[in-house]
Structure 1
Amino acid sequence: MVTTEIETLQADWKSAQSNDDFKLVADVMGDAVSEVDPFDLVQLAEVIRTCRNSSSLSAAGRTLFAVSRNKRKTQNDADRLRKYLGKFDLEWSAI
């Protein structure tokens, strides 16, 4: 009985998180959110959260690409983030 209740709670929490992600992305994208795959929705929601908590596009890029930036010759994180947002027709100012 306890195991079943734990599984139910975990499923509810997962559903609530997905719903929060959808609402966040919809807040930025409007109706276009319906064209975003669930796989991309989770990642895009985290990018939006990071952007909203960052003082600039560059700061958000440094946070989001903290690991992979060390493996690159050039570390233009702002450009990488700008291109990522562009895939969804988004700009920094919209977030």
Structure 2
Amino acid sequence: MSREAHWNGNFRDLAASVTRMATFAPKGRIDLATVDNEIARLGRLWSVSNASNEDKLAAFLDAERLDEIDPFDRVQLAYVVDTCRESTSLSEAGRHLFSASRARRNSTNDADRIRKYLARFGLDFATIR
């Protein structure tokens, strides 16, 4: 109910949080310290997932370069960067990012499409990973 809490999860995530507290609870009882530790853990997760697009991109681009990118493009670039960071390869990221349009294309070299897109901003997959 806290204003600081923005629950992005579902009931399964809530159940996992309660299970985690029960597992780490001393003597089988969830005490205030255990709850406080879980709230702190969730707060760290929430702050990372709620970071602004500028914060996410600032790790890869300097302020001057960020100022040259339209807000519209920042949102898209931040999503592409997030997807690349979560993917094990450029091809995997491409399959995810172009999942709808790849069926309509003759050539499905999604990795090359992403490589070229990132290059427009002076980025590459290895740097992002």
TM-score category (smaller protein)? 0.7 to 0.9
For the 8 Å contact 1:54–1:60, the answer to whether it is kept is yes
- Uncovered stretches (5+) of structure 2, i.e. residues with no partner: 1-48
* 1:73 equivalent among 86, 98, 106: 106
Larger mean Cα displacement after TM superposition, 39-48 or 22-31: 22-31
Give the aligned CA root-mean-square deviation in angstroms: 1.7
> Runs ≥4 in structure 1, deviation > 2 angstroms?
none
The separation in 2 between residues aligned to 1:85 and 1:27, in whole angstroms, is 14
For the 8 Å contact 1:51–1:60, the answer to whether it is kept is yes
* 2:83 equivalent among 46, 50, 54: 50
The total of aligned residue pairs comes to 79
* Aligned counterparts, 1:1-95, within 5 A: 20-31=52-63, 32-95=65-128
Query: Whose RCO is larger (CA < 8 A, sep 6+)?
Result: 1
The structure having more radius of gyration, on CA atoms, is: 2
The separation in 2 between residues aligned to 1:54 and 1:74, in whole angstroms, is 21
What is the TM-score of this pair, normalised by structure 2? Answer: 0.58
**Which has the larger share of helix?**
1
Tell me what 2:21 maps to. Answer: none
What is the TM-score of this pair, normalised by structure 1? Answer: 0.77
Identical pairs, percent: 48
- Uncovered stretches (5+) of structure 1, i.e. residues with no partner: 1-16
